Structure 1
């Protein structure tokens, strides 16, 4: 879902599954039940499928499809596919969200920490709202931490010698997402009723170099992919970046605190 098409590692991503699941739970807490029963639900950027399964727990009669472009993630997600407890169905399909067009109408289109990988994703909002049935909901959450040390240090290192030529254009910048207000304005202009907010989580991480371990599952993937054919260079970049993170996120007797800002939007289409 990025220009650099990063390779994903489901096992690495799921190492912090509990922390990563919290924002999706907070998002769904503001989502009303779909207008149809059984409902049709799309999960854009489903990853390893563990949170798509949460949608099936919330609406067990629904037909829910998780979409992702990573073969590695979809392979892991397949374990969650099949009939659901309330007579619904959970399945997965490969889709590149930079070009995806909704193939049908949905009661709920949800997306968790994915749209930041799609350049110009807000331009797709009219098509997504059109794909909602009357009374349907478009709900998403994106990281809002691109100015945090974890990202700034990564970009600065990638832009320095000897990495500049190999990593030019690989990493995202702060304009990867909009502000809550900008999202609200975009979606209210399409006739939606919008609830938009932001939250900064203070994740307490444990273990050795836990912030590096966290970004290896997400933000660092484009770098790891770009340097995958040169393990020595990959390890050299990672070691330097690790040392920078140790200074920016010092360990405490109780663990390492990772502040993480996230942006939430729940847009309802008029019934």
Structure 2
């Protein structure tokens, strides 16, 4: 069925489903966002037939969700990458993942953490040996940067939210959500161990879905010596399918930490984290023992 043939043609949901409503199509968007951009890689990851994959890739290109970028002339081969239009699907991808984890795989409870051994925990730990996506995040001072520092080991700690006094406060009911407490303590503990991480050859970066101005206010308030990065557009969250939860209309990270090597490969994962301050010393030990 063509999009023009859809009933309720004035309905945005119906029109969107006309483009990406197919099972394989949305999974293709998921994997392209995660850095699998070539035909053979997508087929290997999805287990779909070559014909079905070719048809869906062609449809996504036709609708402007993906664009083809040649990487070989003989024979002609292409990378499939998200367009700006395609990147607009990333929040929907994250929302669908959160809904599936919370309401299909879970009991519906709102939480900022997970259980050891859960499907979500296993999925996050499978990020080990995964290459970091090629995305840019906005630093708290407005500078676009890669999540991991080039050529050095990087500790990326993801946190639900930290707010400076006098700024927009915590969302209603924040303290009642399991796993949200401890963001300020975690950030300050990393700051106090900064010299130790530097001596061990690693740099520290914090990541949140908060706006850069909110992060800048917290950096100033807490006097942090390392940058905080904003993933407010869900580029990194979707690229790695990181665990999130939604409250007060905002998708937020569940607390986790990634250790990334100088070649941008994830070498260790901390998730779930029940002791925010203690996790800093644990990741420092991993850095020293690498």
TM-score by length of 1: 0.29
TM-score by length of 2: 0.28
Larger Rg: 2
Structure whose residues are more often strand by fraction: 1
